[in-house]
Amino acid sequence: MKKGILLLVVLLIGMAVLQACSPATPESPPVTVEPAEKEEAVIEEPEVTEASEATEANEPPVGIFQGNRAPDFTLYDLEGNQVCLEDLRGNQVVLNFWHMGCPPCVMEKKEIQAFQEAHEDKNILILSINIRDSQQAVEAYMEENSYTFPVLFDTNDNFAAVEYRVRATPTSVFIDEDGLVKHRVEGAMNVAFMENRLGLSE
């Protein structure tokens, strides 16, 4: 009996010693993981001034109708000089599309020459744009009739005629000093008609 009690006491003491020697497990503090903040992309918009907005708003579209900005082009004259429509800003310009196989065109050339002689002191240019004939043929025609108005050639690809949608000859387009289309005429013109369209009639 004594041995049993003694054995029980020894066992209890051993268990107590083991618990005292075991390292305590510290409680881990809770860890909070926050999502990384996303950097927002900064898009810089171009600065738009009131002046640029006004310019864009007031700029007419390029086209062949009244009030449109006349399509620009560069063609060559009889002497081989380049003529750019944009460079003629500040003048009233009449584009006159024609060719020598068109009887109304040929008749109209006398009127164009007469108009030029009567108003050569004004800032008005009539550009006679040939769309079909060779330069040699036009030179001979001009010399034979003593014509002096400027002739341009659009015979390679008819670029200007296509831009201005020329469907018949003669076709004339009146452009003001600011490069805007004012009138478009299909058919032959005389001096009085041109003076009226250009504001020269009394």
Residues 107-150 pLDDT 10s:
999 999 999 999 999 999 999 999 999 999 999 999 999 999 99
Question: Six-digit token pair at 28?
Answer: 């881990």
Neighbours of 38 (CB within 10 A): 6
pLDDT of residue 201: 80
Q: Please state the pTM of the whole predicted model.
A: 0.72
Half-sphere exposure of 56 (CA within 13 A, CB side): 5
Please give the CATH topology (third level) of the domain spanning 68-197: Glutaredoxin (3.40.30)
Residues 77-117 pLDDT 10s:
999 999 999 999 999 999 999 999 999 999 999 999 999 99
Q: What is the C-alpha to C-alpha distance for residues 20 and 132, in angstroms, rounded to an integer?
A: 116
**Domain regions of the chain by residue span:** 68-197
Task: Provide the pLDDT confidence category of residue 21 given band limits of 50, 70 and 90.
Answer: very low
Identity at 53, one-letter amino acid code: E
pLDDT of residue 51: 46
